[in-house]
């Protein structure tokens, strides 16, 4: 950190002292970018950081809906349109009880740099609601999504702001949201991504985040002439991202031995493959928040209230949620000789955990670099929609692979440029920041 970053961070803390998650994500980026701020004074002279930390706009709105008993329920909806110098605001919607404006700003800030790293034309945004989808009927989910879209539709558009899924929002929710947008506006357009294949979706979008994470791990392992084959893999979560990771690791000959949920984790030493992967998907679709169902069915060990990082492995993929791996977990993994830690979830490692991992002798990749495959595939979906075309599965997979390799090489080379060889956290923050900051300079004050 230097005087400039310290000052901007101090002012931000004074202005939004309650936005802890948001301050965490800003601090995480700021701690890397001092060398580039010192190298190019135009950033400071043009107050680029001040321009970046205040979103273009934050929209917060009431979402009233009726439950199956006819009672009126009220939730809060958010859409934070952070920055569009590189393209339409782009980022997911999260439906989870824990959602606050601070969490949405935190994820939106991350998204700016993640999207920049893809090399594609997408700006940064994020949204969601404190609505809890767990235990809700299909009808209740539809009621909620329709009411949410009644307000959101005023702010989004295929060339302005394009939401997608995140925790609690998958193809079903995107469908209800898209249907309502179409009814309100008469427009069938690529206003949301993650759509069903028959009505504007792209091949591989459901798998893309997880596949991209594994492709990134592969690129890192290539540095030591290694690959995924025969690697022992620990995964957390059991949602969309975890599913994509498990599928791709199996395909490449690795073995995944854990999954986790809010209730604890399961350890299956024989590997989660074949019909067990289908069971994982079904478990998710039931809307049940228990991973224990897996251990009940396959008679494997369930660790109640525990996290999977105690299981020795070659590669760890945290794929559940933010701050799910702390410094003690990180130390345990390194002690057990983990080779790679690759983030599927957004900000899964605490700040002190990240600092420890950056200095440990392992390959460690931050989410904004390695989980960008989802949003990259979303951008492919926008391109297909704009042309009223479908690309084949192979075409999408090839492009996804290219984007992940591009991100990897960019992070690696940027770290090397600043004498931080192998530090992907530094490389990702600096390369992402540089593309956005230069675009702001080129385009003039917003």
Among 106, 256, 345, 354, binds ligand NDP (CB under 6 A): 345
Of the pair 9, 369, the CB lying nearest ligand 2IT is at 369
**Catalytic residue at 126?**
yes
Q: Least distance from C-beta 205 to ligand 2IT, angstroms?
A: 8
Which of these, 267, 377, 356, 371, lies nearest to 318 by C-alpha position? 371
Q: Does 75 bind ligand 2IT (CB under 6 A)?
A: no
The 3 state secondary structure assigned to 77-135 is EEEEEEECCCCCEEEEEEECCCCCHHHHHHHHHHHHHHHHHCCCCCEEEEEEECCCCCC
Among 375, 382, 396, 436, binds ligand 2IT (CB under 6 A): 375
Inter-CA distances, 412 with 190, 398, 418, 423, Å: 33, 21, 10, 7
Binding pattern to ligand 2IT, positions 98-137, x when CB under 6 A? ----------------x-----------------------
Comparing every residue's Cβ against ligand 2IT, the nearest one is 92
Q: Does 119 bind ligand NDP (CB under 6 A)?
A: no
Among 240, 250, 414, 429, binds ligand NDP (CB under 6 A): 240
Which of these, 122, 83, 117, lies nearest to 424 by C-alpha position? 117
Strands 340-342 and 363-365: parallel
Binding pattern to ligand NDP, positions 275-294, x when CB under 6 A? --------------x-----
**Among ligand 2IT, ligand NDP, none, what does residue 382 contact (CB within 5–8 Å per kind)?**
none
The residue annotated as part of the active site, out of 114, 126, 231, 292, is 126
Q: Does 163 bind ligand NDP (CB under 6 A)?
A: no
Question: Which segment (95-103, 215-223, 224-232, 374-382) binds ligand 2IT by CB under 6 A?
Answer: 374-382
Which of these, 428, 421, 330, lies nearest to 371 by C-alpha position? 428
Q: Does 80 bind ligand 2IT (CB under 6 A)?
A: no
Compute the Cα dihedral for 135, 137, 141, 147 and give only its sign.
Answer: negative
- Using an 8 Å Cβ cutoff, are 11 and 96 in contact? no
Number of alpha carbons in the 13 Å side-chain half-sphere of residue 18: 2
Which of these, 204, 122, 167, lies nearest to 344 by C-alpha position? 167
Of the pair 254, 366, the CB lying nearest ligand 2IT is at 366
**Among ligand NDP, ligand 2IT, none, what does residue 193 contact (CB within 5–8 Å per kind)?**
ligand 2IT
DSSP code string of 377-413: HHHHHHHHHHTT----HHHHHHHHHHHHHHHHHHHHH
Q: Which of residues 138-197 bind ligand 2IT (CB under 6 A)?
A: 164, 166, 193
Q: What does DSSP assign to residue 194?
A: S
Residue 94 bridge partners (DSSP): 128
Q: Does 174 bind ligand NDP (CB under 6 A)?
A: no
Q: Does 214 bind ligand NDP (CB under 6 A)?
A: no
Q: Does 209 bind ligand NDP (CB under 6 A)?
A: yes
Binding pattern to ligand NDP, positions 75-114, x when CB under 6 A? -----------------x----------------------
Compute the Cα dihedral for 377, 379, 382, 388 and give only its sign.
Answer: negative
Sheet with 57-66: strands ordered across: 57-66, 72-83, 123-129, 89-95, 161-164
Q: Which residues bind ligand NDP (CB under 6 A)?
A: 92, 165-168, 209, 237-241, 260-262, 289, 319-321, 324, 344-346, 371, 374
Q: Which residues bind ligand 2IT (CB under 6 A)?
A: 90-92, 114, 164, 166, 193, 346, 374-375, 378
Question: Which residues participate in catalysis according to the annotation?
Answer: 126
């Amino acid at each position: 950190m230097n005087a400039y970053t310290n000052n901007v961070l101090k002012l931000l803390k004074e202005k939004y002292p309650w936005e802890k998650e948001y301050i965490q994500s800003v601090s995480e980026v700021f701690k890397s970018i001092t060398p580039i701020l010192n190298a190019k004074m135009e950033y400071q002279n043009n107050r680029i950081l001040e321009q970046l930390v205040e979103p273009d706009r934050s929209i917060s709105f009431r979402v009233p809906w009726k439950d199956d008993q006819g009672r009126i329920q009220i939730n809060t909806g958010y859409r934070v349109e952070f920055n569009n110098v590189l393209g339409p605001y782009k980022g997911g919607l999260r439906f989870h009880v824990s959602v606050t404006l601070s969490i949405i700003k935190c994820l939106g800030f991350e998204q700016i740099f993640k999207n920049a790293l893809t090399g594609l034309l997408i700006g940064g945004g994020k949204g969601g609601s404190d609505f809890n989808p767990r235990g809700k009927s299909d009808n209740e989910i539809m009621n909620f999504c329709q009411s949410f879209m009644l307000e959101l539709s005023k702010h989004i558009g295929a060339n302005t702001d394009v939401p997608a899924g995140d925790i609690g929002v998958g193809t079903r929710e995107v469908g209800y949201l898209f249907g309502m947008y179409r009814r309100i506006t008469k427009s069938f357009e690529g206003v949301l991504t993650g759509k069903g294949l028959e009505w504007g979706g792209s091949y591989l979008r459901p798998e893309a985040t997880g596949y991209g994470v594994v492709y990134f791990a592969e690129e890192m392992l290539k540095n030591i002439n290694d690959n995924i084959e025969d690697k022992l893999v620990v995964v957390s979560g059991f949602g969309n991202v975890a599913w994509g990771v498990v599928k791709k690791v199996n395909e490449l000959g690795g073995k995944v031995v854990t999954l986790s949920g809010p209730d604890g984790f399961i350890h299956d030493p024989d590997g989660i493959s074949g019909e067990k992967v289908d069971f994982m998907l079904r478990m998710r679709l039931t809307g049940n928040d228990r991973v224990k169902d897996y251990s009940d069915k396959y008679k494997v060990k369930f660790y109640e209230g525990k996290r999977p990082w105690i299981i020795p492995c070659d590669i760890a993929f945290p794929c559940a949620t933010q701050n799910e791996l702390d410094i003690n977990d990180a130390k345990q993994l390194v002690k057990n000789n983990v080779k790679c830690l690759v983030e599927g979830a957004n900000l899964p490692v605490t700040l002190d955990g990240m600092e420890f991992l950056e200095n440990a002798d392992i390959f460690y990749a931050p989410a904004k670099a390695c989980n960008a495959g989802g949003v990259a595939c979303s951008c492919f979906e926008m391109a297909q929609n704009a042309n009223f075309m479908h690309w084949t599965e192979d075409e999408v997979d090839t492009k996804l692979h290219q984007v992940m390799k591009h991100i990897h090489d960019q992070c690696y080379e940027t770290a090397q440029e600043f004498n931080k060889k192998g530090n992907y956290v530094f490389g990702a923050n600096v390369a992402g920041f540089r593309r956005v900051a230069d675009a702001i300079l080129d385009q003039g004050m917003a």
